[in-house]
Each structure stands twice: as C-alpha cells, then as structure tokens.
C-alpha cells in the first residue's frame, strides 16, 4: 500500500561530547525504485455536522493510446516465372485495415465525450469525511473505511478518484447501459465510479463499512436503489455487490479476545512504508505485540473484535519514539483499553530506534498507529476493524439525516447506501414485462447502436456482430431515438438517426449522414 504525501526533510544537529554530529536523515532501509510525489488537499468547508468536505482537484486527462494497425509487408523478388507473385494487400486485407481505421476514429470520438475524472486527496481517514463532485454528487465515508489487499486498515492519506455520469453521451463513452445483468430495463438517476488509492496501490472499502451516496436533483425518488456494475465491454447492473474480503478465519480456533497493535502503513512520497526496528527490521507491531501482555480481566471484558483505538507517535532525530498520545482521548477514556494505555506508552517509548521500510522518518511529525480488539488466534492475521469508534455513543449525523431538513439546494437530493468501491448506479426498475425483440441489420458493415429513451433517463445497446444485432425485452410502444454509427469495408463512417415508438420486429433506417463526433453527442443528449 503506497501513500501519497509531500515530505520536507528535516536536518537536525546534535552536540555529542566535544564534537559536532550532524544527521541529515533518520535510518532508512535500502531499497530501489522511483518515488511518486503528491500534495495533501485541505478540506475547503465542513458539513452541518462538522464533517470535513473535500472538493475535487482537476486531473489532466492523457490522450487516448491507440495501437496502430499495419498492412502486411509485401516484396517483389523479381521472380518473372511466378504468375501468382503478389505485391500488394488482398481486398480482404484492405477491408480489414479500413474498418480498423474507422474504429480508431470512433474510439477517439468517444474518448472526447468521456466525463472527467476528479481527484480528492484525503488527509485523515480515521474520521468520517465527505467528498463533493463538480456535478453535485456527494459521498460520505465512515471512519477507518479502507483496507489494503491483505486486509490491513489504511491510515493516513488516501487519494479518491470519482467520475460522475449524468449525460447519455457519457454513458455511451464509458460503455454504460441501463440494463440489469438479466436484461431488465432500468431508469437511472445518475452513476458514479469510485476508486481509492494509497500511492499507486488500490485499496478497498472494508467489509461492514457503508457509504452514503447523495444523488443531486432527483425529483421523483420513488423506487430508486443502489446497483453495482458487472462487465467491462458493455456494463450492466446488479443489486448485489461483487464479493469482497471476508473473515476467512471464522472457523479457526481462538483463545478468547485480546488487544493488538495492527500493521500500520504510512504515507511517504507515494510509497508503501511501515515501521521497523532499525537493528533487525522486525516490524513495530510484532515488537509491541510480543511485549504487550493483556490482563485476563481485560480480555474477559472484550466481547467483540475489530474495535479500533488510535494513537499518534512522534520521533526524535535518532529514530526513537519521544511522544505517544491517544488520538481521540475522549473515546479512549473509560474504554476497554483505558487501563492499558500506560503499558502501551511504556512499550512504545522503550522501543529501539525505528526506521521506515522504503522511506525516511520525519522528526516531530505525528504518525498514526492503531490498536484494536482481536480474536486471539495463534497466527498473525489481519483484524477487520468493523466497529465504529463512536460505539455506544451518539453517532454523527449522516447525509440521510441531514437531508431530513431540506433546504432549497438539497430538497430534491436523494441519499442511498453503497457497500463497495466500483461503478455505482442509482436506478429503479421500469417493471416492463415485454418479450418483444428488435433486430438491426447492416449490409457489409459493422455498427454501434444506441437506443435512447425519451421519457426517462435510459440508454441501452443491442448485442451482436458482423452487421447483425438484437435487442430483447424491449417495452412496446415506448418513445425512443435510435442512433447508429455504421462503418464498412471502405472505411467511411456514417450515422443514422430515427425517432419512433418501439415495436416487435426489425428496425430500419431511412437515411444516413456523414459521421461527426459533435453530432453524435448532440443526438444522444438532446432528448
């Protein structure tokens, strides 16, 4: 897990005996590789319940990379006696080349219609926070929401990337449809894609954690719910999230509960860094847990694993921990761990000099570490931190509760819940029971066909290839616009548009026109 943060190196000078000793940096384990730099983003305002709200920062979109398609290389060897000596491409090869060039032009056009990705750099994920996109989508994250690929909690800075999809052209550019995985038609209130990174490593939402997703300006909210993406070429939707990490140790024997220090990965120049003992590179959590003896009476009071307790530590110029504090003392006080605080501080303050794997410690900088109640397995396994720090206390207001007192700005906003980071869709079923099928045929040509619904926000695509495409379960008598982009063996791209009511049977276009990207976008969005 690699975290992204800007680091200023500290140069410390120490007077040792009668000589002057200068140490420019704390011990570092030798490693190789490039670093990634980034800057922390300050939240620009707060929500009504004092939750920090992060605004997006722009991301420069890279140009689309399209692999070139080449003709085969032919050579005339001067073999006059060979009447079948080919010196150029066959008609089939020419047609294949022309179609590839046409598809490349279409890829560029769709690329330019994509919705912009937005970046949010979250400084502290140990407390709830909110992000707000440029189109008005808001997402509220709970405290300690993220885990790495090994199931370890993520501390410190995390970069979130969000893309908002509201227009039909954006759906088309991202291969998003409004159909379920079993072919039922949906009406969408808007879609987003969420990803979280610690440096260049993707992290996930922890099991048991829930997002609050607020969809802007959804006037008729009846029946809308959360859907999750399935597939990549043509994205469809399901109400069930894909499988995420789970407690694979649930069947293992354990000896009651205890309290452990969890693996703490930190932010440093986009690198995945952990604390280690400098002299032998033993991890700090292994050192602490081998020395931390939890009293029997304390263990007897623990009834649940995954309850977190956060501390901050600071280092001196020699890599020794010089200060240990509870990050949220009002929560730690009178808690399961309150009687252990003195022991924890003593172990940490007496620890040998530390270093960071693949990074430098910064003297005086506070770093977060985490302890949690855990099942007392004999093996060292990740602990799922699935209990809120405010357990037993009044929880902060959620976005849904905030919207209970609507203002003119949020009166039509709709809040729903999500349980994973992926493409998320706010949809409702159209309850169509139609079994009608529509067919599209294009002579000696391929095509991309979009069906845009005029009376609701829905866009679907028929499936097929080689000029033949089929759309099933189409609601009969619905006002739609058919938009087809057609390209054949000559490489020319044409468009066909037809406004009609749906009916069973073939769909035929009367006329075609020259393809223009701006016209395609207009035809998709002007409904």
Q: Give the Cα separation of 386 and 145 in Å (integer).
A: 9
Q: What sign results for the dihedral spanned by CA atoms 276, 282, 288, 294?
A: positive
Give the burial string for 314-326 (b: 16+ CB within 10 Å, else e).
Answer: bbbbbbbbeebeb
Q: pLDDT (tens digit, 9 = 90+) per residue, 181-217?
A: 888 888 888 898 999 998 888 899 988 888 988 888 7
CATH match for 40-59+120-245+397-428 among 2.60.220, 1.10.8, 2.60.200, 2.20.25: 2.60.220
Q: Give the Cα separation of 161 and 225 in Å (integer).
A: 22
| Half-sphere exposure in the Cβ direction for 40 (13 Å, CA) | 16
| Predicted pLDDT of residue 85 | 55
Angle (deg, nearest 10), helices 91-112 and 517-525: 60
Over 60: is that where the pLDDT of 499 sits? yes
| Predicted pLDDT of residue 45 | 63
Cα 90 versus chain centre, distance: 46
Over 70: is that where the pLDDT of 345 sits? yes
Banded pLDDT at 129 (limits 50, 70, 90): very high
Q: pLDDT (tens digit, 9 = 90+) per residue, 357-385?
A: 766 788 888 999 999 888 875 455 556 66
| Predicted pLDDT of residue 320 | 95
Q: pLDDT (tens digit, 9 = 90+) per residue, 82-101?
A: 555 556 788 888 888 999 99
443: exposed, middle or buried (Cβ count in 10 Å: 0-12, 13-18, 19+): exposed
Task: Tell me the whole-structure pTM to 2 decimals.
Answer: 0.74
Banded pLDDT at 303 (limits 50, 70, 90): confident
What's the 3-state SS for 33-100?
A: CCCCCCCCCCCCEECCCCCEEEECEECCCCCCCCCCCCCCCCCCCCCCCCCCCCCCCCHHHHHHHHHH
| Predicted pLDDT of residue 355 | 87
Percent of the chain with pLDDT over 90: 37
| Predicted pLDDT of residue 350 | 96
| Predicted pLDDT of residue 82 | 52
Banded pLDDT at 228 (limits 50, 70, 90): confident
Span 492-506, mean pLDDT?
95
524 or 245: which leads in pLDDT: 524
Least confident of 39-53, 204-218, 384-398: 384-398
Strands 308-315 and 211-215 turn out to be unpaired
Task: Say which residues have a Cβ less than 8 Å from residue 82's Cβ, sequence separation at least 6.
Answer: none
| Neighbour count for residue 134 (Cβ, 10 Å) | 13
Q: pLDDT (tens digit, 9 = 90+) per residue, 231-240?
A: 766 777 787 7
Span 495-523, mean pLDDT?
96
Over 80: is that where the pLDDT of 392 sits? no
Mean pLDDT score of the chain, rounded to an integer? 78
130 token code pair: 């909110």
| Predicted pLDDT of residue 179 | 86
347 token code pair: 């172990």
DSSP state of 137: -
């Amino acid at each position: 897990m690699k975290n992204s943060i800007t680091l200023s190196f500290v140069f410390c000078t120490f007077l040792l005996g009668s000589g002057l000793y200068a140490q420019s940096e704390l011990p570092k384990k030798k490693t190789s590789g490039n670093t990634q730099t980034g800057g922390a983003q300050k939240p620009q305002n707060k929500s009504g319940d004092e939750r920090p709200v992060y605004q997006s920062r722009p991301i420069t979109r890279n140009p689309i990379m399209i692999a070139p398609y080449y003709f085969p290389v032919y050579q005339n060897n001067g073999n006059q006696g060979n009447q079948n000596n080919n010196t150029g491409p066959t008609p089939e090869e020419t047609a294949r080349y022309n179609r590839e060039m046409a598809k490349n032009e279409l890829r560029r056009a769709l690329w330019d219609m994509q919705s912009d990705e937005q970046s949010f750099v979250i400084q502290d994920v140990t407390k709830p926070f909110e992000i707000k996109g440029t189109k008005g989508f808001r997402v509220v994250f709970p405290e300690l929401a993220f885990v790495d690929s090994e199931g370890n909690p993520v501390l410190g800075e995390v970069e979130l990337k969000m893309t908002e999809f509201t227009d039909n052209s954006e759906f088309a550019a991202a291969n998003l449809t409004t159909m379920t995985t079993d072919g039922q038609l949906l009406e969408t209130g808007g879609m987003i894609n969420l990803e979280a990174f610690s440096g260049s490593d993707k992290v996930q939402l922890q099991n048991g954690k829930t997002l609050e997703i607020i969809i802007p300006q959804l006037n008729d909210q009846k029946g809308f719910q959360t859907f999750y993406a399935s597939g990549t070429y043509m994205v469809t939707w399901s109400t069930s999230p894909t499988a995420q990490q789970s407690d694979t140790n649930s069947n293992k024997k354990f000896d009651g509960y205890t309290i452990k220090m969890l693996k703490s990965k930190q932010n440093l120049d986009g690198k995945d860094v952990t604390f280690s003992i400098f002299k032998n590179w033993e991890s700090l959590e292994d050192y602490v847990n081998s020395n931390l003896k939890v009293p029997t009476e304390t263990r007897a009071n623990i009834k649940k694993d995954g309850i977190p307790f956060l501390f901050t530590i600071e280092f001196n110029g020699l890599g020794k921990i010089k200060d240990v504090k509870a990050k949220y003392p009002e929560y730690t006080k009178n808690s399961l761990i309150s009687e252990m605080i003195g022991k924890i501080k003593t172990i940490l303050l007496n620890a040998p000099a530390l270093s960071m794997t693949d990074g430098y410690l910064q003297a005086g900088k506070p770093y977060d570490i985490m302890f949690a109640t855990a099942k007392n397995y004999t093996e060292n396994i990740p602990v799922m931190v699935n209990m809120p720090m405010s357990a037993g206390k009044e929880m902060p207001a959620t976005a849904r509760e905030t919207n209970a007192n609507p203002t003119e700005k949020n009166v039509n906003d709709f809040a729903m819940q999500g349980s994973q980071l992926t493409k998320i869709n706010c949809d409702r079923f159209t309850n169509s029971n139609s079994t009608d099928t529509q067919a599209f045929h294009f002579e000696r040509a391929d095509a991309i066909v979009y069906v845009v619904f005029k009376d609701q926000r829905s866009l679907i695509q028929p499936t097929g290839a080689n000029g033949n495409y089929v759309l099933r379960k189409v609601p009969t008598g619905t006002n739609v616009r058919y938009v087809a982009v057609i390209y054949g063996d000559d490489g020319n791209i044409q468009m066909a548009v037809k406004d009609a009511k749906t009916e069973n049977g073939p769909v035929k276009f009367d006329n075609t026109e020259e393809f223009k990207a701006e016209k395609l976008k207009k035809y998709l969005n002007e409904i």
